[in-house]
Amino acid sequence: MPFGLPVTPPDRVYTFENVAPGPQHQQIYYSHP
Amino acid sequence: MFHGTESHLVNLCFQYPVLGFFNLPGAGTAIGIFPINDPSFNQFVSAVANVSVSVFWVKDTLANVGVFNVTADLFQIELNNPSRQVINAVVLSGTVSSLESELTNVSYRVSVVETLTENPPVQPPIWIAPGGWTGKYNLDATGALGPLLRGGNPENEFS
């Protein structure tokens, strides 16, 4: 849709969100051949 | 969510109706789902979603973790309450991929835009309740959630 065109305001807007566990230090290990 | 693989890249598709916590006046919170009057009235305008990988475990130098094909769309779904109630609701879909890694958590947001009218009136949320809806839903013989009614991308009203 081009910019600048009128948009009818919606009657209802809502958001569902799930916030997973925050930053964690990851254990990273490598397996070398 | 849990997805773990070794040496083969494996995609795992997920598809869930979005539930929410609702404040009940004077009665705490309850988990429920919004039925949407659509397409008979077109209450559903659009929905946008994002999903991000939050926690994963790298298992090798060639590890790969990803999330893609994220959409929020309107589906017809059948709740597993005693009356097998059929509603239209917003469903979050996407794909996670894993190679030599374990993906244990994703975060998501789904925003829904609606138009409302007096007739038909807005339907209240359906709560998870003892003897009522358990929070689950019925799949058809193919394991599918229900027919897709409308995509989440807004249609161009001005063309």
pTM: 0.83
Q: Do B55 and A28 touch (CB under 8 A)?
A: no
The residue among A1 and B19 whose pLDDT is bigger is: B19
CB distance from A10 to chain B under 8 Å?
A: yes
Residue A25 touches partner B, C-beta closer than 8 Å: no
What is the per-residue pLDDT across B71-91, written as a single tens digit (0 to 9) for each? 999 999 999 999 999 999 999
pLDDT at B26: 85
Instruction: Retrieve residue B29's tokens.
Output: 């919170």
- The residues in B 77-96 lying below 8 A from A, measured between CB atoms, are 90
Nearest residue, CB atoms, B45 vs list A10, A14, A16: A10
Q: For residue B31, is pLDDT > 70?
A: yes
Min Cα–Cα distance to chain B from A3, Å:
11
